[in-house]
Structure 1
Amino acid sequence: MSLPIISSVGFCTYTSEGGDFSTLEGSIRTIADLGATAAELSLYGEEIIAGGRIIPSRAERLVQITKQFDLHYSVHGQIVSNFMDREHLAEQKAVVRAMLELCNRIEAGVLVQHSGQAKMQAATRNRALDAIERDALAEMAEVAGHYGVRIALENIFALSDNEYRQTPSQVGETVRSVDSPHVCALIDFSHAYIECTRLDLDWRAEIKAMAPVTGHLHVHDSFGRPYTMTKFYHPAEATALGIGDLHLPVGWGDIPWEEIFAELTFLPDTMLILEITEDRFKAEQAESLALANKLAALVNDRRLAA
């Protein structure tokens, strides 16, 4: 029997400073208790890798924690992971190798990798950065294949015209050019909305171009407004103004979720992760999960009816 398109739905874990894993374990337990089927582990904040090497005792403790729960796991790599970072490319790849090994140890099927970022340059130099990222992804895809993991390349937004980021459709083209079963695209719908507003692009067309090579989804709401101001004294102030990458519960922003999921389809065995954490929106997580399961059904039921 073939795999469903969206095979599991869940949340990312909440990470706090301290690195004793108690917050991580509690966050996974909350996700399981909500009835989710997946958890994305925010391992970038857990002090498991030092200088590109895994700390054995901490990795062992991570395995002990994850084995307690009947969940499908993905891992969110470093927020600063960047395959356009020429100066630190060797260090960047070393950490990704370590993250892929951690995925193998905890049986996580996906490693989230942010798409590249650099200072805006002439078009020819930006294309050279694209090539560096593609080469690094192709190299890491071989490692991922050894572990049976997919690297999911996530679309991000730029903060200003001085920053180079690929558009969502260009992220999809990067994945196509690598042409590996161990590299897929990750659509972050809110990121796409923000970036396309900034660049005056049709964001629905941009994510539609990504969808055929997409194997992982990040769902959280916003109003698609770029960072025209960046100083807020509390996250609730940004929410009130509707500015930026808000990570709101489904339905709090103005993204037309049902329209999108009624028209798009993705690669088989795609995981849908709600990036809505209990530190801010614990009371809204159950409702968001119910809505996300309905969105997954829009995709899966359409495939069954075809």
Structure 2
Amino acid sequence: MNTESIISAVGFCTYTGDGNFSVLEDSLRTISDLGASAAELSLYGEELISGGRIIPSRLERLLEITGQFDLRYSVHGQIISNFMDKEHLMLQKSVVRAMLELCNRVEAGILVHHSGQAKMPALTRIGDLDQMERDALAELAEVAKGYGVRIALENIFALSDAEYRQTPAKVGETVRAVNSQNVCGLIDFSHAYIECTRLGLDWREQIKAMAPVTGHMHVHDSFGRPYSMTKFYHPAEATALGIGDLHLPIGWGDIPWEEIFSELTFLPDTTLIMEITGNRFATEQADSLARALKLMDLVNSRRIAA
């Protein structure tokens, strides 16, 4: 762990080949050639786990690929991971256990885990959902501790008022309640922007509340507009309208990155991952990396000055 810096590594997520490892390998090579220091492995799409068990032959191939590159790795767990899913909770936890083992094998220090989701319940049941998630996180934190991995709990947005999601500030409360060195927050700035626009909250105040327990970040641009329409024939149409979770290069949306990184700080040894993939934005990745390195300097220079 690099305790000298707040943000200690910057990089990109891989794009998944849906089990085609050559796509993963090409993605990692691109990230390495750009000069990034970190890569987030999108292992949810690589057909590595079957029924909660790791497939040994595919794991060996994964290790052959990741071992080629001098990158700091994190792992993105299942998109549908959900510790508020009572019906499938045991299955959910079994996959997270397998993902933590994968982290150990590829020497990744972070497992990205999405915060919970449920149909909007009666207000009296929200506390039960929050507690279910906290109990599961505390249980899996002990597994993570054995591997030297932190579970990074990511803030997500709801698609409608019929769906329950925790606000960024409440995700921070969950991390504090679990109170484990092996659970931290993950701020996804665009997700926060979208959700707070939907709820009429001050999103800058929400991420400020979450920042002190944050040990991992997802950076990509947007306009913070909820999904008022969801059918697009091509991702570029959503970009043109500025609607939704766009995963745009830094500077394509209207998030005030320099202002945010001038005022917030995070846990020591935090990694900044740009979810800006080379399959869509290969020609923009180098510029986004340069911008992200400046954001890193904004945070780390304040620590040096202090």
TM range (shorter): over 0.9
Q: Which residue of 2 aligns with 1:136?
A: 136
1:126-275 residue pairs with structure 2 within 5 A? 126-275=126-275
Instruction: Report the Cα distance in structure 1 between the residues aligned to 2:22 and 2:182, rounded to whole angstroms.
Output: 32
Q: Which residue of 2 aligns with 1:83?
A: 83
Shift of 1:126: 1.2
Shift of 1:127: 1.1
Q: Which runs of 5+ in 2 are unaligned?
A: none
Instruction: Report the Cα distance in structure 1 between the residues aligned to 2:281 and 2:97, rounded to whole angstroms.
Output: 33
Q: Which residue of 2 aligns with 1:56?
A: 56
Q: Which residue of 1 aligns with 2:9?
A: 8
Counterpart of 1:10, as a letter, is G
Q: Which residue of 1 aligns with 2:108?
A: 108
TM-score scaled by structure 1? 0.99
Counterpart of 1:16, as a letter, is G
Q: Which residue of 2 aligns with 1:68?
A: 68
Shift of 1:20: 3.0
Instruction: Report the Cα distance in structure 2 between the residues aligned to 1:203 and 1:237, rounded to whole angstroms.
Output: 25
How many pairs align?
305
For the aligned residue pairs, the C-alpha RMSD in angstroms reads 0.7
1:276-291 residue pairs with structure 2 within 5 A? 276-291=276-291
Counterpart of 2:14, as a letter, is T
On the 8 A contact 2:262/2:299 being kept in 1, the answer is: yes
Shift of 1:122: 1.1
Instruction: Report the Cα distance in structure 1 between the residues aligned to 2:22 and 2:280, rounded to whole angstroms.
Output: 18
Instruction: Report the Cα distance in structure 2 between the residues aligned to 1:124 and 1:84, rounded to whole angstroms.
Output: 15
What SS does the corresponding residue of 2:68 show, helix, strand or coil?
coil
What SS does the corresponding residue of 2:152 show, helix, strand or coil?
strand
Counterpart of 1:27, as a letter, is S
Shift of 1:24: 0.4
Aligned-residue identity in percent: 78
Q: Which runs of 5+ in 1 are unaligned?
A: none
Shift of 1:3: 3.0
What SS does the corresponding residue of 1:217 show, helix, strand or coil?
strand
What SS does the corresponding residue of 1:8 show, helix, strand or coil?
strand
Stretches of 4+ moved more than 6 A in 1? none
On the 8 A contact 2:3/2:269 being kept in 1, the answer is: no
What SS does the corresponding residue of 1:136 show, helix, strand or coil?
helix
Instruction: Report the Cα distance in structure 2 between the residues aligned to 1:281 and 1:66, rounded to whole angstroms.
Output: 22
What SS does the corresponding residue of 1:273 show, helix, strand or coil?
strand
Instruction: Report the Cα distance in structure 1 between the residues aligned to 2:252 and 2:4, rounded to whole angstroms.
Output: 31
